Structure 1
Amino acid sequence: MAITPKTAAEAARAAELRVGFIMNNGFPSPGSDHIQATWVFEGRTWDRCLHFNPGPGEYKLSFPTGVELKSLTWRGEC
């Protein structure tokens, strides 16, 4: 038996993507080897640019419980 949301708010919550960890496992590609990550935590929007693994620079993020991932977009240099 399928469980279906009863209200629009419940449907919106069901569509949220909860995440605990992200990592840019891409490779060097000038102009498109970084990731712009945007997320919401406790009602506030955050964003960070991640370099490809193994760096230099930040290439992974760990999140506390309750983070809602909004977007991951390939981009050029941070």
Structure 2
Amino acid sequence: MAWGEPTWKSTGNLYDLHSEHGMYIVNNGVPYPGADHIRFSVTAPGGNFQGCLHYPNDPNTDNFVGPVTLHSAVWGGEC
């Protein structure tokens, strides 16, 4: 997997993105009640996955290897 600048970076929601080479999903947000967690849905080798990432100092990263489709990454409240 290559390292470097993000392919996609957003302060808002993301939908329908694809990578042939894997994907890291990172929440670099700050505490903000009602909108500081990222709920995501992906299809990757092994199936469909859903998750929720907290802001830093809690688990805030998930990664997937191989071809990955990010169906959605949406900001929301506590999960």
Q: Normalising by the residue count of structure 2, what TM-score does the alignment of the two structures yield?
A: 0.69
Deviant stretches of 4+, over 3 Å: none
Count of residues in Structure 1 that have an aligned counterpart in Structure 2: 62
- What residue identity is the alignment partner of 2:62? L
Q: Where in structure 1 are there 5+ consecutive unaligned residues?
A: 1-14
Tell me the distance in 1 between the aligned counterparts of 2:57 and 2:34: 17
Residue 25 (structure 2) aligned to one of 5, 22, 26: 22
Greater share of residues in strand: 2
Q: How far did residue 20 of structure 1 move?
A: 1.6
- Name 1:33's counterpart in structure 2: 36
Q: Secondary structure at the match of 1:77?
A: coil
Greater C-alpha radius of gyration: 1
Identity among equivalent positions (%) equals 35
- Name 2:47's counterpart in structure 1: 44
Provide the alpha-carbon RMSD of the alignment: 1.8
